[in-house]
Every structure is written in C-alpha cells, then in structure tokens.
Amino acid sequence: MKILVLGASGQLGHCLKNVSEERGDTNISFPSEQEGNILDINLLDILFAKEKPEFVINCAAYTAVDKAEDDIDICRKVNRDGAENIAKACAKHNATLIHISTDFVFKGNIPQILSETNPAEPENIYGLTKLEGEVAISDVLEKHFTLRTSWLYSEYGNNFVKTMLRLGSERDQLGVIVDQTGSPTYAIDLAGAILDIIESGSTAYGIYHYSNEGVTSWFDFARTIFDISNTTVKVNPVKTSEYITRAVRPAYSVMDKTKIKTTFGIQIPYWRDSLEVCIKKLV
C-alpha cells in the first residue's frame, strides 16, 4: 500500500523514514515541504493525484508554543487550515489520514489521567489551533486516525533531550520545571505505532492517545537524561510560577493509552527504556 508523509522534514518525519527503512517498507514517500505544501490545496491535489496514496501521515505543524501566542494567524493556518486541506484532499482521493495532535489540547489543571473522551480545553494558542485542526478533520473526513502525543523527542531535530545534553556539556548547573507532569515520547516509538496502525487494516477511526508508558516531571526527566548519559550537572527544581513563559502549559497532561493498546494490540515501551535507546545514539 502507498503511504505519503507530509511534514517529512521534522523529527517525526525523520523517524518514520528510519523505521520504515528498518521494516523494509519501500512504498512510502516523503515529499519536500514545497511539493507537499499543506497551505496550498491545489498543490496537494496534484501531489495526491501523482502519488495515489492509500494512507497519508500528517507530521506538519506549527510547534513554537510561546511564539504562537504572537503569531496567531500563521499558527492557525498551519495547524487548522493545513490540516483541513489535507483532510479534503484525502476525502477527494479516498485516502485514510493519520494526523498527529498534542496533549496541549487539554487544560491539565487537575491530576487526572486523560482519556480521549475528556473535554479538550486548551489554554494556549498552539493547543487551541491543534484542537481546531482535529475538529476540521472530523468535519470533512470519516477515514482518519488522530493521535495525540506528548513531550516528543528523538535524535533528530530540536527537542528537550538534545537541549539538556547540550546545556549539560556547557554548564555546571541549571534549573528545570518541577511542577509540570507528563509522559515523554520517543518519536521512533510513535513512528512504529503509526505504521502498526496502518498495517493492522483497522477501520476503527477516531482519536487515540499515544505516549511512552510512565509519568515524570521535566525536572526528573532532565535528571534521568544526565544519569543515563553520565553527565555531571546539578539540576535545580524550578516552579512554573518562578519561570514565566508566554504560553501557559498544562500542569498535568498524562494520557490514558488503553484505547490504542486494546484496539491495535500495540505494546508501548516504558519512557526510561526508550530514553536509554535514544541517548545511546546521541552520545
């Protein structure tokens, strides 16, 4: 079956290339951002007509969370309008869409495991536009899987793990947020889950949650990164109230993965185990 990946230049796109090559999947294409411009529905129509995909994976997103508070228009164009354009192209060309969303659609103000049926109440522009993208897709396309994920990292692109490793080599100590709790997600694991869903042949469309198993804070995540990488640096706990950012983050955004595990039989690794795999590739 033919698979088309949009937003292929980001870390998840790179991970999909990696995992598909390891699995020997050759019928998957990664067009450039220019060829697969999600803001140009006519270009998408041309691309879909040429590639004739059965599945489309949308990795494209505006993810600069703080900058989004000021760049509202472009953030919305990418996260809402772009997602809608892809869904319309999928509907026209009879393709199934796998769309990547975020835990930031939740308010995250109480320590409660979040299921797919919990109300989405985003507190920042990034989360709001990602939610608008989810809604836009569901309005025009039945055949879609929306995967909400969290705290994504890998050996590719810019992410928390690579930032901590860099800062740890430059400084003796640093402060990290201690009162925001979630689940780190290795993008390689997410890429594998996406391909597993495609290979399952399932038509159980809808919203699913995916992150690695387990729960941690950014503070303990950082300390674990330094522990695994044998980096000597003092990590100081910092409260959110002491580190003001442009965008509000969820204090607790741990997602329930029961639905994706039972529907597709997916085995999800524990976050520290996956982190060890990633760091071994980086150091």
What is the per-residue pLDDT across 64-99, written as a single tens digit (0 to 9) for each?
999 999 999 999 999 999 999 999 999 999 999 999
Contacts of residue 184, Cβ cutoff 8 Å, sequence gap at least 6 = 150, 151, 153, 160, 211, 212, 216, 221, 271, 274, 275
Tell me the two tokens of residue 54: 């059965």
Mean pLDDT score of the chain, rounded to an integer?
Answer: 97
Instruction: Note every long-range contact of 19-26, with CB atoms under 8 Å and residues 24 or more positions apart, other chains counting.
Output: 19/188, 19/191, 19/192, 19/195, 20/191, 20/195, 23/195, 25/195
Q: State mean pLDDT over 16-43.
A: 96
pLDDT single digits (tens) 167-219: 999 999 999 999 999 999 999 999 999 999 999 999 999 999 999 999 999 99
Which band of pLDDT confidence, cut at 50, 70 and 90, is reported for residue 130? very high
Q: What pTM, to 2 d.p., does this model score?
A: 0.98
Contacts of residue 4, Cβ cutoff 8 Å, sequence gap at least 6 = 28, 29, 31, 36, 47, 48, 51, 53, 55, 56, 57, 95
The reported pLDDT for the residue numbered 194 is 98
126 is annotated as an active-site residue: yes
> In terms of C-beta density within 10 A (0-12 exposed, 13-18 middle, 19 or more buried), how is residue 25 classed?
middle
The reported pLDDT for the residue numbered 58 is 98
The reported pLDDT for the residue numbered 250 is 97
The reported pLDDT for the residue numbered 66 is 98
Which residue among 126, 153, 186, 208 is the active-site one?
Answer: 126
